[in-house]
Structure 1
């Protein structure tokens, strides 16, 4: 095979020095046909590739070796046989060739399989306001000094690459709803399509092709915001490659080193500020003359206007227990005791839990996470206290009850009596009638007079004048009084002086 230097000499002698082919072949000891081939094809390099590799010794064992390699490909990498082990097995079958022959074949076969397994992708282009992509990731943070694995929702606009990430303790449906509500509010509008994987909180059943049986509540979300959901082909993450890549980038940029914050509110505030700062600092990947934030400002007018926030809850039925508690997600929440034994609807939001009966809100609590926790509203148990005042002493709903300071002082003052619980409950039962502020004011007055008892407080409340609201009456002009009557006792006394009484 001729080297590049030899070919260079041939070209210089022929094209620059104008020497004939016969002289060049004689001086460089080449055949005239070789010189002609270089000059006619304008070659600067000559290579040789063997099209068919003859394997006189290996030929009979190629099928057996390929079968072994195919079996190994299904196994974990550490359990696959090496070329040396395969050579020893072939020798046991009668192979008479060398180890180098087997090694070259194994290397070429594995290289070919790797090329076949490598997938090619088509770059995707989106118009402003056309689509957004959604995905979840799991990240490690420290909240309140405790290591926690949080579920992070990633929402990314396909045109501008603007992203928002929100951390949650769960990946449940109400968290999906809350992430969309916050994202659309943050972006200032909605895209015409949303691209998802086949998460169970959205897709109930995968049908043929791109058809999906979406969850009813998820379809309500899409209908409310007027966008079309599109689910990717299973195991085809490249169909939402922007958000897939953003998951890895955000993990390195935002969660390494491990974040240490107080709670989820502080964590999400930090993540939101980081998303904005990153968008303003980084260039757009396909429009390098703009930052991501500038592309986002350009895309904003193309977004559909977002309506009022979606009522993003996940509903489930529950039974009110004899202790007036409703169990949801392994935690319990109180409702008014008048609903004991009834079936209610629990509406779980990302941050709160509501109990509904016949379309009426019974109670609402901040959502608890974990298990075995209880959320009480002591006022739900006031009718029970009226019948069983002793429950105020050790009742779980009344531990750390946040009451006005005047009522707490009244309780401390009443504890000198043996029936303090009955007296204090009697004062509490007056709150639905007179209001919390009026009862607290009466307690302050009784404490100031140093006569704190239930009867004194109730007496003070009964003496409080009740303001009556008079509705204005629109009378015709002829029925209106020209002179408003005034109370004058002197006129009555004047009449007494002129009237003579009958005497017997």
Structure 2
């Protein structure tokens, strides 16, 4: 028998012991329970109801409440799939703050705080198994900070269910050029090509799906698949669970590799960060096979197809006619191209990250970045700062600092307590009218102690006082220029009239 016995059984054991004077061994044999269980109830002398363990107080968490609450509050402004899990919070506390408590304590506290903050829990993922040498591919969206700007990027993940290995390519979009370039680079990261790859019915590969389930693929994708010799397999519409492993891996990558938000100087550095995360992840045990994923990956790699000697060049070529001003339409924007005549026809070669404009001899006239390479997401500083107004101490642990200019950051961090709360409230209020750049300029020029004066300075920066230039008078004789008349005679006449 497992678990606690029913109250009637406990009573009967006590009866056999005290009234029938049976031994512990006799009771255990008669009732079919273990000797230890029979002993527990037969000789029990305290039958008071045990109090349930306290779960509302977390003394060991006192020193870390501010950090954890800050992360959870900031998560409310983040995409649902890129929020902290309890495990991720525990890992960060151990790594960044030397937390000595247990994983269970953090889980209890986080569950309590999430309930209070009404944060929805992420949905479970479905696991699927496949033979070695086969892979699944899918896109996921995540946010990062690149060059101080909040950006939204795509991660194309190629996952291998047998070993649980995965590789990531970071790209701005999900178009054909990004998709095929991403697969090419993922094959090179893997050191080979999977025999079969499962995909969604994404538009970069599938033109249409017939009623019979047959798919019409894009010419570009078919050439790519032939070049690398893999067999593409497509999920049935609305049946993403058929490639559940990669969907699980996309969620795992967002929760563990993108929390907190990755910070990089450029896209190249962000790619290196993700590569490092993927390699480090191979060092953990497989979730089901109790073997290091690295060892399983070494076994699986030998089943991959060899990379072709010549890599595939993923680009789109279009013939475009310039307008009367020598301008060409590129990525829905009109661009002036030097060295071409009005109405001349040129070639536009679209790569995933750049555009080449070519003449009739296929000579490159100019190379431009794709229009979406520098796209950023507007940062709502008011929303990010609002939770910090009631918890000003949490500012030191908040990711909002990454979005604040240096003077503004110093303005808030140079004081504590009520003074910091006052300054946070002032910034929130000013952001309703002014841009953060204007606030930064104001803080650069003026003393920061008097916020009421700062507000006046902000107004003057936006509405400077107009002082008219001196009027040039070319008609007044020079002898009268600057002449000051003597008005004392008029004063005497006035006194004389008054006496009358």
**What TM-score do the two structures reach when normalised by structure 1?**
0.47
The structure having more radius of gyration, on CA atoms, is 1
**What TM-score do the two structures reach when normalised by structure 2?**
0.48
Higher relative contact order (CA 8 A, sep 6+): 2
